[in-house]
């Protein structure tokens, strides 16, 4: 019975972390909107490959420290970056 209780505790913790990741993604998108507004005011492009590459390097370092699959980490980062760009483009359209 203790094993079943341990499993339930692990599942609850997994759910808590999943919901926290989702909440943090929401915060990230709020920041993306603000960044989009700032870029619009400064007339600079949405995409900044240098910033993306720096973030990619940092994310891979964290992934490696946890023994995570590199492809998973890059796909996850790609999703985050793509969604940020989508939100920034949407912000620019609303400003037009």
How far is the C-alpha of 62 from the C-alpha of 34, rounded, in Å?
26
Whether the predicted pLDDT of 96 surpasses 70 = no
Does the model's pTM come out above 0.75?
yes
Q: Which domains does the chain have, with CATH numbers?
A: 2-95 (1.20.59.10)
Whether the predicted pLDDT of 33 surpasses 90 = yes
pLDDT at 73: 97
pLDDT single digits (tens) 47-92 = 999 999 999 999 999 999 999 999 999 999 999 999 999 999 998 8
pLDDT at 55: 97
pLDDT at 1: 67
pLDDT at 4: 85
């Amino acid at each position: 019975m203790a094993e079943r209780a341990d499993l339930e505790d692990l599942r609850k913790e997994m759910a808590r972390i999943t919901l926290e990741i989702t909440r943090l993604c929401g915060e990230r998108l709020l920041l993306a909107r603000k960044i989009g507004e700032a870029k619009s005011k400064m007339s600079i492009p949405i995409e900044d490959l240098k910033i993306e590459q720096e973030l990619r390097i940092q994310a891979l370092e964290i992934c490696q420290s946890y023994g995570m699959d590199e492809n998973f980490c890059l796909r996850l980062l790609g999703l985050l970056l793509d969604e940020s760009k989508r939100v920034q483009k949407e912000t620019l359209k609303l400003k037009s």
